[in-house]
């Protein structure tokens, strides 16, 4: 049963210069749009940056009057950013006592438990109660992998009310992208790092561990170029000053024909947020033989394109995502165990093992992706049906006051 009344949806996410966050939004729009079309609904979507919109009484009143659904969609919002002074200690910045005043149905959609392993602080004490209250009042609360389900129970005491919806970037479709210097006769290895706030991602003493990490990566690339004939394609998602410095270091360390810097090959995708950029990045990943990825979406996007990934990080999310994908354990390098794992021979052997199994891994990825997409479609259609299937009748504050007399 459908009707022609228009609905309005506010989606809050991290959409910005980070190509991974752009992929989340582009993928969410696709799966949500398909669900809306299947329901025969007319929907307008507004978007805002989640950390720029604190929920207070006046904001809540405006949202209640203006929207039919609020979605905090995708990204690692189970994450404490102390500088934001969030009332909750995580991405949903609302005092716990005000949650019931949010009359519009709201959804926490495909989020993730996120943290930096060596950050000085994680969540304040009141976050656990707040998360439990959010789960209680939300029309939908889902996380992007089962590792986050376990952490919600361990860290916050959440035992029910949470579903699994795969990360939205799985829905991005690759676009045609031209890389004339990529040699199809050679194996290619994408390299994407997460080195913003590096002092919170590597163990003490930070300067020595970070230097060792970068040196290990450079030595790995050199060995793969010299012994296996690889081309290295550097694919930063955020293009920080650190990424640019690593690009210069790779250029000084590798033969010219063995290195492509994506910010030079396809500079347009680094020029602000654009819903077309994720497709271009996916098109790049689709062309590669393998990826060595530290950022979470340098695991998700290439895998979704059928390109196997060796992941490495000091946070658990990359390993959790590899488990969700059914990837071999050897394809995740857990840098929390830094002394044992941060070695050139470990990096090189993981790449070589993935290369030897590439065809089988790619076929497995395509099968598993189809399963995950079906889960996302089913859950999203259920969300749309439960929240937008019947239009809420909204009253202006003036009419509400008159009715109360």
Tell me the residue range of the domain where 313 lies: 188-363
Same domain for 91 and 125? yes
- Pairing assessment for the beta strands 309-313 and 290-293 based on DSSP bridges: parallel
Residue 152 lies in a domain: yes
First to last CA, the chain: 37
Q: Is there a contact between 128 and 155 (Cβ–Cβ < 8 Å)? A: yes
Same domain for 376 and 349? no
Give the H/E segment covering residue 366: helix 358-388
| Residue 68 structure tokens | 């039919």
Residue 176 lies in a domain: no
Same domain for 348 and 287? yes
Distance CA 68, CA 379 (A): 18
Same domain for 377 and 286? no
Q: What is the pLDDT along the chain (405 residues), one digit of tens a residue?
A: 346 789 999 999 999 999 999 999 999 999 999 999 999 999 999 999 999 999 999 999 999 999 999 999 889 999 998 888 999 999 999 999 999 999 999 999 999 998 878 887 789 999 999 999 999 999 999 999 999 999 999 999 999 999 999 999 999 999 999 999 999 999 999 999 998 888 888 888 988 999 999 999 999 999 999 999 999 999 999 999 999 999 999 999 999 999 999 999 999 999 999 999 999 999 999 999 999 999 999 999 999 999 999 999 988 899 999 999 999 999 999 999 999 999 999 999 999 999 999 999 999 999 999 999 999 999 999 999 999 997 655 544 433 443 344
Return the pLDDT at 82. Answer: 85
Same domain for 194 and 63? no
Distance CA 369, CA 27 (A): 14
- Comparing CA positions, the residue from 25, 310, 309, 307 lying closest to residue 172 is 25
Distance CA 294, CA 351 (A): 14
Return the pLDDT at 198. Answer: 82
Same domain for 322 and 241? yes
Q: Alpha carbon of 62 to those of 8, 230, 304, 395, 399: distances in Å?
A: 13, 55, 38, 12, 15
Q: Is there a contact between 330 and 348 (Cβ–Cβ < 8 Å)? A: no
Burial group, residue 227, by CB count within 10 angstroms (0-12, 13-18, 19+):
exposed
Q: How many residues does the chain have?
A: 405
Helix (H, G, I), strand (E, B) or coil at 8: strand
Domain count for the chain: 2
- DSSP assignment of 226-265 equals HHH-PEEEE--SS--HHHHHHHHHHHHHS-GGGEEEHHHH
Return the pLDDT at 199. Answer: 84
Return the pLDDT at 186. Answer: 98
Residue 397 lies in a domain: yes
DSSP 199: G
Same domain for 356 and 215? yes
Residue 183 lies in a domain: no
**CA angle in degrees (0–180, nearest 5) for 331-335-338:** 130
CATH number for the domain that contains residue 304: 3.40.50.2000
CATH number for the domain that contains residue 64: 3.40.50
Burial group, residue 401, by CB count within 10 angstroms (0-12, 13-18, 19+):
exposed
Residue 178 lies in a domain: no
Same domain for 145 and 97? yes
Q: Around Cβ 35, how many Cβ atoms within 10 Å? A: 22
Return the pLDDT at 393. Answer: 54
Same domain for 165 and 86? yes
Residue 179 lies in a domain: no
What is the reported pTM?
A: 0.94
Helix (H, G, I), strand (E, B) or coil at 379: helix
Distance CA 369, CA 44 (A): 29
Same domain for 259 and 138? no
Distance CA 95, CA 250 (A): 47
Distance CA 277, CA 257 (A): 26
The pair phi, psi for residue 62, each rounded to 5°, is -65, -45
Q: Is there a contact between 170 and 145 (Cβ–Cβ < 8 Å)? A: no
- Comparing CA positions, the residue from 315, 291, 310, 312 lying closest to residue 302 is 291
Burial group, residue 389, by CB count within 10 angstroms (0-12, 13-18, 19+):
middle
pLDDT tens string 85-111: 999 999 999 999 999 999 999 999 999
Residue 320 lies in a domain: yes
Same domain for 310 and 209? yes
Map tokens 């459908």 to a residue. 2
Distance CA 110, CA 107 (A): 9
Return the pLDDT at 401. Answer: 47
pLDDT tens string 142-167: 999 999 999 999 999 999 999 999 99
Residue 42 lies in a domain: yes
CA pseudo-torsion sign 124, 129, 130, 132: positive
Helix (H, G, I), strand (E, B) or coil at 60: helix
Return the pLDDT at 394. Answer: 57
* Domain boundary pick from 330, 345, 363: 363
Same domain for 102 and 14? yes
């Amino acid at each position: 049963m459908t009707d022609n009344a228009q609905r309005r949806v506010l989606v809050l996410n991290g959409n910005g210069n980070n190509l991974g966050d752009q992929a989340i939004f582009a993928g969410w729009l696709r799966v949500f749009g398909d669900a809306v079309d299947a329901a025969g609904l007319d929907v307008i979507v507004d978007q805002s940056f989640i950390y720029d919109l604190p929920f207070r009484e006046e904001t809540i009143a405006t949202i209640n009057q203006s929207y039919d659904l609020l979605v905090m969609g995708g990204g690692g919002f189970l994450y404490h950013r102390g500088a934001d002074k969030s009332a909750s200690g995580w991405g949903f910045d609302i005092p716990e006592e005000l949650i019931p005043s949010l009359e519009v149905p709201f959804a926490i959609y495909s989020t993730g438990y996120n943290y930096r392993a060596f950050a000085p602080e994680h969540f304040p004490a009141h976050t656990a109660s707040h998360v439990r209250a959010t789960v209680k009042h939300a029309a939908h609360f889902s996380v992007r992998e089962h590792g986050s389900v376990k952490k919600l129970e361990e860290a916050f005491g959440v035992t029910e009310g949470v579903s699994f919806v795969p990360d939205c970037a799985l829905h991005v479709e690759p676009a045609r992208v031209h890389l004339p210097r990529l040699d199809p006769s050679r194996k290619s290895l994408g390299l994407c790092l997460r080195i913003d706030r590096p002092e919170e991602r590597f163990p003490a003493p930070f300067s020595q561990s970070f230097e060792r990490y970068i040196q290990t990566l450079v030595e790995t690339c050199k060995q793969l170029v010299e012994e296996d004939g690889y081309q290295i394609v550097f694919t930063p998602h955020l293009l920080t000053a650190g990424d640019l410095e690593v690009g210069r270091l790779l250029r000084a360390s590798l033969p010219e024909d063995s290195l492509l810097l994506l910010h030079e090959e396809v500079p347009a995708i680094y020029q602000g947020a654009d819903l077309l950029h994720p497709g271009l990045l996916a098109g790049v990943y689709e062309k590669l033989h393998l990826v060595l990825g530290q950022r979470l979406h340098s695991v998700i996007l290439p895998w979704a394109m059928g390109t196997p990934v060796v992941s490495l990080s000091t946070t658990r999310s990359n390993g959790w995502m590899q488990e969700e994908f059914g990837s071999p354990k050897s394809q995740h390098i857990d840098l929390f165990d830094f002394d044992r794992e941060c070695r050139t021979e470990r990096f090189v052997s993981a790449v070589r093992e993935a290369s030897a199994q590439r065809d089988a891994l790619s076929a497995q990825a395509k099968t598993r992706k189809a399963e995950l997409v079906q889960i996302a479609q089913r859950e999203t259609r259920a969300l749309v049906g439960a929240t937008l299937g019947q239009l809420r009748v909204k009253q202006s504050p003036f009419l509400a006051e008159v009715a109360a007399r």
